[in-house]
Amino acid sequence: MTRDDILGIIARHTSEVIPELKGHEFKPGDRLADLGANSVDRAEIVMMTMESLSLQIPRVELFGASNIGELADVLFKKSQPA
């Protein structure tokens, strides 16, 4: 799975949680908060994405990501074999 695949998964889950974004062209620099996601929405998007990737990592390890591109980067690194 590539970083772009993960970015697509994040975009899909974001559109599921915030239906108004269906058809939105997501860019790596998009911030979930700027797209209208409140803290509960953001947590749900991250949880759904981690489930899709079969990842179980502490949420605290994702706090540094300031946009969906950085979130995809972190999740991609965590998905790689050690």
CA–CA separation, 21 vs 64, rounded Å?
Answer: 24
* Spatial contact of 80 and 72, defined as CB atoms under 8 Å apart: no
In this structure, what token pair is assigned to residue 38?
């409140």
pLDDT, position 63: 84
Assign residue 54 a region (left: φ > 0; alpha: ψ between -120 and 50; beta: otherwise).
left
| pLDDT at residue 17 is higher than 80 | yes
pLDDT-based confidence at residue 62 (cuts at 50, 70, 90): confident
* Spatial contact of 55 and 15, defined as CB atoms under 8 Å apart: no
pLDDT-based confidence at residue 21 (cuts at 50, 70, 90): very high
| pLDDT at residue 14 is higher than 80 | yes
| pLDDT at residue 71 is higher than 90 | yes
pLDDT, position 82: 72
Fold of the CATH domain 3-79: 1.10.1200
